[in-house]
Amino acid sequence: MPLFGTDGVRGLANGALTADLALSLAQATAVVLGQGRSAEARRAAGKRATAVIARDPRISGDFLGAAVAAGLAASGVDVLDAGVIPTPALAFLIADREADFGVMVSASHNPAPDNGIKIFASGGVKLPDEVEQRIEEHLTGEKLLPTGGDVGRIQRFSDAEDRYVLHLLGSLPSRLDGIHVVLDCAHGAASGVSPEVFRDAGAQVTVIGAEPDGININDGVGSTHLDLLARAVLEHGADVGIAHDGDADRCLAVTADGTVVDGDQIMAILAVSMKERGLLANDTLVATVMSNLGLHVAMREHGISVKTTAVGDRYVLEEMNAGGYSLGGEQSGHVIMSAHATTGDGVLTGLHLVAEMARQGKTLAELASIMKVYPQVLVNVRGVDKARVHDAGVQEIVGGIEAELGDSGRVLLRASGTEPLVRVMVEAADGETAQRHADAIADVVRERLAL
């Protein structure tokens, strides 16, 4: 089974993901990514390859981050340790410092016992599949480790957060003065930086979910638990709520009356605005197969084409790079604005969404009304063999339901890239129909793919 999933290497800390694995993975990464042209140029100048590392605040990040740093330094790579910062901040800093690569220790929206390792190449971009495969191949091979003065140094990246904040503020088209924002930081990596930058941009800020203790990350808070944010927006009479996940590469929102605005709606708002301002390259948005049918309808009404990719912001980014597109993302809240970021950035997205409210003088509900959300039901089926998702019996019921729905809905069946489950998604003209079809498919999946 491949070590890398949809978004790096992920698993139970001290279970599947051990300090030994983290160290070996770092050493293999140093072999593969420490041999690029920038690294060669450094060596020619008598310098070592450089990597930036960071982590989210979950407790296992301490020992896994230390193992990554040790593996890199032992391989002759100089390490800049940025501490606890969002994943997109790490991606930005790799490019900003012209480092050869970077490593993020985070399991994103997963619960605290899990952790993960995300690797970024030079420029702060996620790795293509073939590079991940090369790293995996080097895990067990013999490594020629440097000695003496050739080993790497580990230094604290003291101004990492300040560089990121200045970058975010410099990206904004307008200030946020007069807008009251509730921020839910998921007790995660954005707990320090997100409130700071929203206040610096002029917003009145109320903060929840910003007291990380190492084990409360994503626990009933953040982008996967929006009820608390909706209640806080209503309680404080705020204009908008913004929610991040544990490593802040996602952004979801809540209107003043507590209605959820998902990633599809956020992309619709930003796409229409960017087209009006001449900033939407080729009048095209890139989205995944999970995006709501309503997004496609809304974009068509505004003269915007939609390119569709597999699930995962890395695939969105690949399509954006291939076509020179400027906006893409996922329903889950990963939104990529290529003029300002190389990956999904929840803080950047939230800032630009609120800035659009300020620029147009409209509420978030008014902005979100450009897109009608079709009822969409997602059922996660656990305890099954996700590798057999293309089973003939499963495909038969999917085909029958697709034929019944016609143009009024759609079905998506896929194995999760980050969890041991199969996802069943059905869209239809009404919620009852979507739920009935999703349950029917899920029942067949449980029966046919049982372990």
Q: What is the pLDDT of residues 291-322, one digit of tens each?
A: 998 999 899 999 999 999 988 888 899 999 99
CATH 3.30.310.50 occupies which residues in the chain? 376-448
Residue 7 confidence (pLDDT)? 82
Pick from 360, 368, 379: which is nearest to 426 by CA?
379
**pLDDT number for residue 40:** 65
Residue by residue, DSSP assigns 64-114 as HHHHHHHHHHHTTEEEEEEEE--HHHHHHHHHHTT-SEEEEE--TTS-TTE
Residues of the chain with CATH 3.40.120.10: 9-158, 163-368
249 known ligand binder: yes
In this structure, which topology does domain 163-368 adopt according to CATH?
A: Alpha-D-Glucose-1,6-Bisphosphate; Chain A, domain 3 (3.40.120)
Ligand-binding site membership of 439 (annotated): no
150 annotated ligand-binding residue: no
262 marked as binding residue: no
- Listed as ranges, residues in the chain with pLDDT below 70 are 1, 35-45
The contacts of residue 77 (CB under 8 Å, 6+ apart) are 30, 34, 48, 49, 50, 51, 100, 152
What are the tens digits of pLDDT across the range 173-200?
Answer: 999 999 999 999 999 999 999 999 999 9
Q: Which residues are catalytic?
A: 108
What does the pLDDT read at residue 47?
Answer: 79
- Please tell me the CATH superfamily of domain 9-158, with its number: Alpha-D-Glucose-1,6-Bisphosphate, subunit A, domain 3 (3.40.120.10)
Separation CA 338–CA 349 (nearest Å):
11
Fold of 376-448: TATA-Binding Protein (3.30.310)
